[in-house]
Amino acid sequence: MNEMQLILLGLLVLGASVVFFYITDLIPRQLENTEMNIIISLGIGLLILIVGKRQNHYLDEIIQSQHKVTQEIHTMIKEEIRLINEMKRENDNG
């Protein structure tokens, strides 16, 4: 299950629990707005954390692929320099 599906599942469960508690009236009336704000803030923070980790993973993949391409280019340049030097020696000797 990827992160987006996990986020959507979490939001669905959160919505279902709110509806369930609203219908059954199990939430105490003394529950204060500050407590609800804390709960909502923690939920949003968790979502941001999951999305941030996903973005970091994506950036790591990009950096690794760029590093691999850079290594391949470096290897090709070294091979070209070797061939040029070899051709230069052949021309000097020949």
Number of folded domains that form the chain = 1
- 52 in Cβ contact with 7 (< 8 Å): no
The Cα 30–Cα 54 span in angstroms is 38
pLDDT band (50, 70, 90) for residue 10: confident
The per-residue pLDDT of the chain, averaged, comes to 78
* Cα–Cα dist 37/8, whole Å: 20
**What pTM did the predictor assign?**
0.46
Give the tens place of pLDDT for each residue, 13-33: 777 776 776 677 665 655 556
Range of the domain at 68: 3-93
Name which of 48, 61, 56 is nearest 10 in CA terms: 48
Under DSSP, the state recorded for 37 is: H
